[in-house]
């Protein structure tokens, strides 16, 4: 299903680009605009689905037997604080830009849309601050790894 989704996504994005050439301030131009938007949305969605399914497909590996280990308390490192604080700063910059250019109501809508990101960043900062075991070094390799 991955490769057909990628192919269909490429075709729909090509249709969107082709339809964008006919967009004008006429009835026919509005139809081209709708085709551009819908084909682009569907094409990008299929491309993302196909790419994620292709590159995150689990490959079978030989697994070692599981050994029972004691669960120890997690040590929170400063990388969590860095990611959480930088996300909050980014959200504040985005919301300030929306408020300055579009007004308060649009900033409120932006805040609603950014709410999951803001909540996740606050959670990271809060768990670092409340964690009994904190390490003040930032491990960039651990931040960038997929695991």
Give residue limits of the domains in the chain. Answer: 2-55, 76-144
| pLDDT for the residue 115 | 92
| pLDDT for the residue 30 | 83
CB 50 within 8 A of CB 6: yes
Q: What is the value of pTM for the model shown?
A: 0.47
Mean pLDDT of the chain: 79
Cβ-Cβ contacts under 8 Å for 111 (sequence gap 6 or more) = 95, 118
| pLDDT for the residue 90 | 94
Cβ-Cβ contacts under 8 Å for 36 (sequence gap 6 or more) = 16, 19, 20, 23
90-140 per-position pLDDT tens digit: 999 999 999 999 888 989 998 999 999 999 999 888 888 887 777 676 766
């Amino acid at each position: 299903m991955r490769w057909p989704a990628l192919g269909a996504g490429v075709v729909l994005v090509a249709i969107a680009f082709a339809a964008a050439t006919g967009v004008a301030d006429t009835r026919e131009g509005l139809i081209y605009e709708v085709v551009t938007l819908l084909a682009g949305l569907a094409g990008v969605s299929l491309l993302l689905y196909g790419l994620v399914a292709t590159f995150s497909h689990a490959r079978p590996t030989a697994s070692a037997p599981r050994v029972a280990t004691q669960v120890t308390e997690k040590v929170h490192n400063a990388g969590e604080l860095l990611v959480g604080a930088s996300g909050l700063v980014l959200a504040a910059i985005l919301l300030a830009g929306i408020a300055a250019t579009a007004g308060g109501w649009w900033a409120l809508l932006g805040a609603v849309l950014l709410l999951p990101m803001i909540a996740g960043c606050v959670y990271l900062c809060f768990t670092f601050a409340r964690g009994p075991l904190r390490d003040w070094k930032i491990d960039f390799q651990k931040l960038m790894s997929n695991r």
